[in-house]
Amino acid sequence: MVNYRTKIKKINMSEISIAIHGGAGTLVKGTMTSEKELAYKSALKLALDAGYSILEKGASSIQAVEAAVKVLEDSHLFNAGKGSVFTAEGTHEMDASIMDGDTLNAGAVSLVSGIKNPISLAKDVMEKSEHVFLAGEGALIFAKENGYEQTPPNYFFDEFRHQQWLEIKDTDSFQLDHATKKDSKFGTVGAVACDKNGNVAAATSTGGMTNKKWGRVGDSPMIGAGNYANNETCAISCTGSGEFFIRGVVAYDVSCLMEHKNYALEKAEDEVINKGILKIKGDGGLMAVDAKGIISMPFNTEGMYRACKSSKGREEVLIYK
Ligand code: ASP
């Protein structure tokens, strides 16, 4: 059988493309104003352009996804970095992961506090340690040894997020971005890209869920669940109900369908997002790009903050279906 990657490399070596998301937990349609919509779309566009310009200069997909995710982490609009939700203790615990589809190298961090850009820390775990996944205190020691400063808690304070937490603070409930009741802003962030050499990469970063406790970790930092990249198939960044995405091994499942069943990207994604994950009642979506630069952005929720751009001329910044 012809290997998927060999097939696509022969067709095109130079298509560049990037797709980013700001989470599948969008504001419900009725509560979206034109000002808010503009703010979200401008933030997405900024991140998209940051990543795309790196690809245009001929740099790697890993550099592009890191740059795009950093812009999203620096915005208070999304649930990652600066805009991270509050834990049950009133703190912020962030998770992030990154993967290089060329080498299958990966790096991830979870339960980190005071780190402005967790995605860069995940990249440093990949590049500067012998490990893949560092968590909590240990990850912070690694960060310190690699020159990261502790950013004070007020940097991560957002009044809206705070109110969101106060509403459920003394209860046992937690607020997942994808709960149907939501009328608030939400959104794990992520990016996938294909560079001019046909190398793909994926990056995902999140604050998790409001009022989370016991060191809860979702799918976002878990390689194979919320994030995965393999040049033989595609790069994927997920957003959704983390517990279900972990059980569905969503990102790797898409890749597996392509690798072992020879599915095209869109067919594999449809199978996972609109069939597989729904069977266990998981909601959310994903961003994916294959080594031909083909982008797909499926979701089974009302909307997903998303944007994409390719050298073939595709450019979109969207929120709802
Ligand atoms: N998947 C994330 C988590 O469970 C949440 C999200 O995508 O909004 O932590």
| Contact status, residue 284 vs residue 241, Cβ threshold 8 Å | yes
Low-confidence spans in the chain with pLDDT less than 50:
1-2, 6-11, 177-185
Return the pLDDT at 14.
59
Which atom of ligand 1 is the closest one to the Cα of 95?
9
Q: Whose CA is nearest to atom 4 of ligand 1?
A: 242
For residue 107, the cross-strand partners are 98
Question: Which residue type is seen at 113?
Answer: S
Tell me, in angstroms, the distance from the centre of ligand 1 to residue 24's CA: 9
| Whether residue 93 has its Cβ less than 6 Å from ligand 1 | no
Q: What is the pLDDT of residue 10?
A: 44
Please identify every residue annotated as catalytic. Answer: 188
| Residue 190 φ then ψ, to 5° | -165, 165
| Ligand 1 and 15: CB distance under 6 A | no
* Contact assessment for residue 242 and residue 285, using Cβ atoms and an 8 Å cutoff: no
Q: Is 208 in the pocket of ligand 1 (CB under 6 A)?
A: yes
Ligand 1, pocket-test mutation among 92, 222, 241, 245, most atoms within 8 A of CB: 241
DSSP 8-state symbol, 321: -
Tell me which residue has tokens 């390689």: 223
4 CA to centre of ligand 1 in angstroms: 30
* Residue 204 Cβ < 6 Å to ligand 1: no
Residue 112, beta-bridge partner list: 94
CA of 229 to the centre of ligand 1 (A): 18
pLDDT score at 25: 80
Structure confidence at residue 185 (pLDDT): 41
Question: Nearest C-alpha to atom 7 of ligand 1 is from which residue?
Answer: 239
Cβ 219 under 6 angstroms from ligand 1: yes
Does the beta carbon of 177 lie inside 6 Å of ligand 1? yes
**Contact between 113 and 90 (Cβ < 8 Å):** no
The reply to whether ligand 1 has any atom less than 6 angstroms from the CB of 206 is yes
Residue (of 245, 295, 320, 302) closest to 48 by Cα position: 295
Kindly report the number of other CB atoms within 10 A of residue 266's CB atom: 14
- What pLDDT does 219 receive? 96
Please report which helix (H) or strand (E) contains residue 242, including its range.
helix 242-247
Rg (CA), the chain: 18
Contact 277, 250 (CB under 8 A): yes
Q: 3-state class of 107 per DSSP? A: strand
SS3 content of the chain, % helix, strand, coil (to 5): 35, 25, 40
Ligand 1 centre to CA of 103 (Å) is: 26
Q: What's the CA-to-centroid distance between 273 and ligand 1, angstroms?
A: 15
In sequence order, what are the beta bridge partners of 97?
108, 204
Q: Looking up tokens 């790069």, which residue turns up?
A: 235
